[in-house]
Amino acid sequence: MPSPDDHAERDDPAKPDAGIEFMDLLGYIYLEHNQPDKAAVLLAARNLLAPDDAGTLLRLALAQLRSGKPARALDTLDQRALLGALDAPFHLARAQALHALQRNKEAGSAMRAWLAVRGSAPRDTHPEPRGPADAAAPAQLPAT
């Protein structure tokens, strides 16, 4: 018999639903294995069940773009923009969708926005070695 704690865990809005997490994972797998149509259907359903997730909307737009539906991808990206998620991946996906629709001036503007946003973010957390002390050989394993 389920305890009251089990019921409380399922109702906690801070904990993601396992079904939603599975849909996210499966959508990602479909995208990675060149099945964008399946990914788009699954991610659209996921967006209906748990709307307003910026990551889901980005993956959905990418799936729509790879499925040859750039106008739909732009609509999805507009939904994402309403959430305030105007980050580098947003601008890059938007540029690709606009380019596919042959709206080249707008695509160029989106690419410039992507470069500007990308340029303002920290890029490399592992700088190149500057001298002999920085380029020391890795530690060797002890001999057995």
Split the chain (144 residues) into runs of 10 and give each run's mean pLDDT. 52 70 94 96 94 94 97 96 93 96 95 89 52 42 45
Residue 110 included in any domain: yes
Question: CB burial class (10 A; 0-12, 13-18, 19+) of residue 65?
Answer: buried
- pLDDT, residue 124, reads 53
Single pTM value for the model: 0.72
What is d(CA 28, CA 62) in angstroms, rounded to the nearest whole number? 10
Residue 22 included in any domain: yes
In which residue are the tokens 């601008």 written? 91
For 96, the domain range is 15-120
Residue 98 included in any domain: yes
Residue 78 included in any domain: yes
- pLDDT, residue 135, reads 41
Domains in the chain, number: 1
